[in-house]
Amino acid sequence: MIKEKEYVSRRTTLGKKLKDNSIAIVFSATMKTRSNDTEYAYRQNSNFYYLSGFKEDNAALLFHKEKGIVKTYMFVQHRDKLLELWTGKRLGEKRGRKHFRIDEVFSIKKLDKMLEEFIKLGQNIYFDFRSDASRIEKIKELSNHYHSHKNIAIIIEKSRLIKSDGEIALIKKAVSITKDAHHMAMEKSKILGNEYELLAEIEYIFKKNGAYSDAYTSIVASANAANTLHYINNDSKIVDNELILIDAGCEYEYYASDITRTIPANGKFTKAQKELYEMILDVQEKLIAMIKPNILRTDIQMKSEELLCDGMLELGILEGDKQELLKSKAHKKYYPHGVGHWMGIDVHDEAPYRTKKGKEIPLKSGMVMTIEPGMYIDKDDKDVPKKYRGIGIRIEDDILVTKDGYENLSKGIRKSVKEIESIS
Ligand code: GLY
Ligand code: MN
Ligand code: MN
């Protein structure tokens, strides 16, 4: 768990970064209708959660900075017995005053009026430019030519780059639940007939262990479906001697895990599958080994393309001069995506890759990045030796950058051919 004092410190950090004579507002996520009068499961806005740890909807956090002094205010739903009977207990302003270490807690009903007053006080108005249109409209309506609008999300997300010990502990917990889920899938793939059955086993492990949700829509793609990068139908038959690409990771207390394993449905790789798999695994391990402070993601990306291109040449998937192939991006046909991304409260963590001036941000201790090379060969691709057609493989781990190098947070998830084949 993240302690309340960490949220205070995050707000203090943000307050320091605000220009003087400003107000900043961060809204909770809005409930989304699923159909008629039913709603999607609520998930808090990541930046709002990062600053408050508060999971209720219909809330807002407001900062006011004047003469270098920052005051913070929280707006929450008022307690209401009747409504609470339907939708559950609310914290309310009274208990909120004890719970949050914040200057004042008000009912959300007061927000519009108070926002109007606050906007008169500040010249710089910070808000998330991706907030709901109605909220943006309101802010614009209340401000005039004197005000300058700034995107608060950019400032918050910069802080999210480096994870605290508490955040790392939550990511580790998410990864450990995901580990059990992948191991269960490795066991059950031999006896289950359909992708959705395998998915059910994975989701069972997530939920059983207190991971309320997945961190993204899981992919359970058998055979040629693995070549559809965002395959989420997960409803095809599992074929005995084919591979299954499983990209699934749970979210635990708002922290993600993001793991891909590619496994043989019947527990044993064919010779061709093994050739491709071991090549990609070797590439992935070399890329992980590059991780240390001051390395650029672009260096890892370039290395991944080079190493995969070597592998494709060795296996006869590409032919020709390596430098020419890289230059013409021929390898991109089989490796079209990036090598990895930041991970944290969001699976694709909303943290910048470049500074405002466009300079790439190097890796630093405390950052978490996925490393996920893959190769995807469509079943009808006549340019590739027949034995490799219809195979799609990705291997993905979650890596913490440390002071001296890295820690592979998902190293406990079976990955070598031997480890996968020996699961019973
Ligand atoms: N599961 C999403 C990704 O690998 O980026
Ligand atoms: Mn990923
Ligand atoms: Mn993934």
Same domain membership, residue 407 and residue 263: yes
Residue with tokens 């069972």: 204
CATH of the domain at 179: 3.90.230.10
Q: Which residue type does 76 have?
A: V
Which tens digits make up the pLDDT trace of 348-395?
999 999 998 999 999 999 999 999 999 999 999 999 999 999 999 999
Catalytic residues: 37, 230, 247, 258, 337, 341, 348, 372, 376, 394, 396
Residue-number span of the structural domain to which 136 is assigned: 4-159
Q: Which atom of ligand 1 is nearest to the CA of 394?
A: 4
The reported pLDDT for the residue numbered 145 is 83
Q: Which atom of ligand 1 is nearest to the CA of 348?
A: 5
Same domain membership, residue 184 and residue 153: no
CA of 220 to the centre of ligand 1 (A): 12
pLDDT more than 90, % of the chain: 97
CA dihedral defined by 311, 312, 315, 320, rounded to 10 degrees?
A: -120
Same domain membership, residue 199 and residue 154: no
CA angle, residues 391, 394, 400, in degrees to nearest 5:
170
Q: Is residue 144 over pLDDT 90?
A: no
The reported pLDDT for the residue numbered 19 is 96
Nearest-CA neighbor of 317 among 215, 389, 368, 396?
Answer: 389
Same domain membership, residue 172 and residue 155: no
Q: Over the chain, what is the mean pLDDT?
A: 97
Same domain membership, residue 174 and residue 210: yes
Same domain membership, residue 290 and residue 177: yes
The reported pLDDT for the residue numbered 122 is 87
Nearest-CA neighbor of 23 among 147, 155, 145?
Answer: 147
Handedness of CA 141, 129, 157, 19 (dihedral sign): negative
CA of 339 to the centre of ligand 2 (A): 8
- Which of helix, strand or coil describes residue 239? coil
Spell out which residues line ligand 1, taking CB within 6 angstroms. 216, 247, 258, 341, 347, 372, 396
The reported pLDDT for the residue numbered 147 is 87
- Which of helix, strand or coil describes residue 182? helix
* Domain end among 159, 180, 207: 159
The reported pLDDT for the residue numbered 146 is 84
Which tens digits make up the pLDDT trace of 295-330?
999 999 999 999 999 999 999 999 999 999 999 999
| Ligand showing the shortest atom-to-Cα distance for residue 230 | 1
Which tens digits make up the pLDDT trace of 250-279?
999 999 999 999 999 999 999 999 999 999
CATH of the domain at 69: 3.40.350.10
| Nearest-angstrom CA–CA distance, 31 and 86 | 15
Q: Which residues contact 115 (CB under 8 A, 6 or more apart)?
A: 25, 62, 138, 139, 142
* Domain end among 159, 189, 209: 159
Same domain membership, residue 196 and residue 55: no
* Domain end among 111, 132, 159: 159
- Helical spans, DSSP H, in 88-164: 92-99, 111-121, 133-142, 152-159
Q: Which residue type does 350 have?
A: E
Same domain membership, residue 205 and residue 96: no
Same domain membership, residue 154 and residue 178: no
**Mean pLDDT across 106-116:** 96
Residue owning the nearest CA to atom 4 of ligand 1: 258
> For the chain, first and last CA: distance in Å?
35
Same domain membership, residue 224 and residue 152: no
| Nearest-angstrom CA–CA distance, 62 and 25 | 5
CA of 244 to the centre of ligand 3 (A): 14
For the chain, the domain total comes to 2
| Nearest-angstrom CA–CA distance, 223 and 393 | 10
Same domain membership, residue 377 and residue 315: yes
Is the backbone of residue 204 left (phi > 0), alpha (psi -120 to 50) or beta? Answer: alpha
Q: Which residues contact 80 (CB under 8 A, 6 or more apart)?
A: 90
Same domain membership, residue 387 and residue 240: yes
